[in-house]
Amino acid sequence: MPRLYSSRNIISVLEKNDFYFVSQRGSHVKMRKGKWTVIVPANRRVIPFGTFNSILRQSGLNSDNFL
């Protein structure tokens, strides 16, 4: 089974890859880097695998960046 990440972990990896905080509305954080905009659910201990794949697609990163 693939590893599941918390939203805090995902946001920190995005920040290390030069994404910056844009806004937060409710429980979703918007981060941006150039043309890439990523929406991350905030304050979650476990992000489901499908949501994690969507974050990867939105960010242009691959799963190796999260190891």
Between 3.30.920.30, 1.10.357.10, 3.40.50.720, 3.40.50.1580, what CATH number should domain 7-61 receive?
Answer: 3.30.920.30
H/E element holding 25? strand 20-25
pTM over 0.85: yes
pLDDT at 62 over 80: yes
| Rounded distance between C-alpha atoms, residue 66 and residue 45, angstroms | 16
CA angle 19, 54, 60 (to 5 degrees): 45
7-13: average pLDDT: 96
